[in-house]
Amino acid sequence: MLKIKNLSLAVVLFLASLMGFASPTEAAVDAAEAAPIAAMRQKLAFMLGQRATTIRLISSVATTFNDSCFGLGLANELCAQAITPGHKITFMHGGRRYVFHTNSDGSASRMPRQFGVFVSYNRIVINARVIAAKQFGVNRNTVPLIDSQPVSITPPCLPNNACPAIALIGYALTFVAKGQAVTINMGTDGNVISDRNPVNVSAAEAGQTVTIRANDQLVLTLEGNPTTGYVWAVAPDSTKLLKQIGQYEYVAANSGMVGSGGQFVFRFGVTGTGTGKLKLIYHRPFETGVAPIKTFEVNINAIAAN
């Protein structure tokens, strides 16, 4: 009788583990698998908005894929037809399984779409999923997230200064909508950014019309000297079609000479389509009721993305 009870208990525990009710044992990892597993665990933690330590490894299986999309390409993707060594890595979190197909070192990956519809607590993922769903006119709960990658752009080269290093500014999130892959580029602030070349604007464009596509980034460079107390700032009546990304960056023209002046660099994301006016004022913020000594205006024509 005791043996029968023990056997029944073993069966129940086995079935419970398959359904996600029991915590699985962490799978063994060899040296070759350690890097891709660590990369996928961090990626899943970002996607879910959870701590990496709460994500448990179920299995990692070395395999080969027939194309560069790890056998998961969609209708609008071009996948190189080449044998690609990699892994199929399975995790569990909150009683749910998540699977990744990766290359050999984990630097590239893709999640099968059936595993990509889940509740996320990451504001970046939440906002991007809403945008992807609106673009295709579908329910956001039916839009799988199949990949996320860091995104970086090169800030503009300023006069008399070396080009700055590439700056990490967000993530490229790839969703599936109506059988197609759609990528939304999001900043770390939860707002849309762009992986296009920045649309550079300077004082030379004052009074002109600048055409910019939705989701592009406008980079405005204006000369100034904050040591005098004056700084450039976006005017309250500036267009709402542009939203400033972070704070301005100030780059001194001659870092070895105090008070030599330099460039104020502003970055803006496009929030919609239409026309408007980007306006900045050069003023002393601590002076109230005093008119700015300079203003900058440029007409904005925001159009739909390609």
Does some domain include residue 278? Answer: yes
pLDDT at 216: 76
**Mean of the pLDDT values across residues 5-34?**
54
Residues 51 and 91 in one domain: yes
Among 115, 143, 174, which residue terminates a domain?
115
Residues 80 and 102 in one domain: yes
Query: Which residues span the domain enclosing 162?
Result: 123-187
Residues 208 and 289 in one domain: yes
Residues 67 and 163 in one domain: no
Does some domain include residue 11? Answer: no
Question: Coil, strand, or helix at residue 61?
Answer: strand
d(CA 190, CA 167) in angstroms, rounded, equals 17
Does some domain include residue 52? Answer: yes
pTM as predicted: 0.56
Residues 236 and 289 in one domain: yes
Closest Cα to residue 87, out of 23, 18, 38?
38
Does some domain include residue 61? Answer: yes
Residues 280 and 240 in one domain: yes
What are the helix (H) ranges across the chain?
Answer: 2-19, 31-48, 123-136
d(CA 75, CA 182) in angstroms, rounded, equals 11
Q: Which of the residue ranges 92-101, 177-186, 192-201, 272-281 would you say has the lowest mean pLDDT? A: 192-201
Among 88, 115, 142, which residue terminates a domain?
115
| CA 201 and chain centroid, separation | 24
Residues 82 and 107 in one domain: yes
CB neighbour burial string for 208-222, b if at least 16 within 10 angstroms, e if fewer? eebebbbbbbbbbbb
Confidence of residue 296 (pLDDT cuts 50, 70, 90): very high
> Which tens digit of pLDDT belongs to each residue from 180-235?
888 888 888 888 775 555 788 999 999 999 998 876 788 899 999 998 999 999 99
Q: Which of the residue ranges 25-34, 53-62, 122-131 would you say has the lowest mean pLDDT? A: 25-34
Does some domain include residue 192? Answer: no
Residues 90 and 166 in one domain: no
Confidence of residue 248 (pLDDT cuts 50, 70, 90): confident
Q: How many domains does the chain have?
A: 3
pLDDT at 215: 65
- Amino acid (1-letter code) at residue 67: D
pLDDT at 25: 58
Question: Coil, strand, or helix at residue 27?
Answer: coil
Does pLDDT of 149 surpass 80?
A: yes
**Arithmetic mean of pLDDT over the chain:** 83
Residues 204 and 298 in one domain: yes
Q: What share of the chain is helix, strand, coil (3-state, %, to 5)?
A: 20, 40, 40
Residues 181 and 208 in one domain: no
Does pLDDT of 5 surpass 70?
A: no
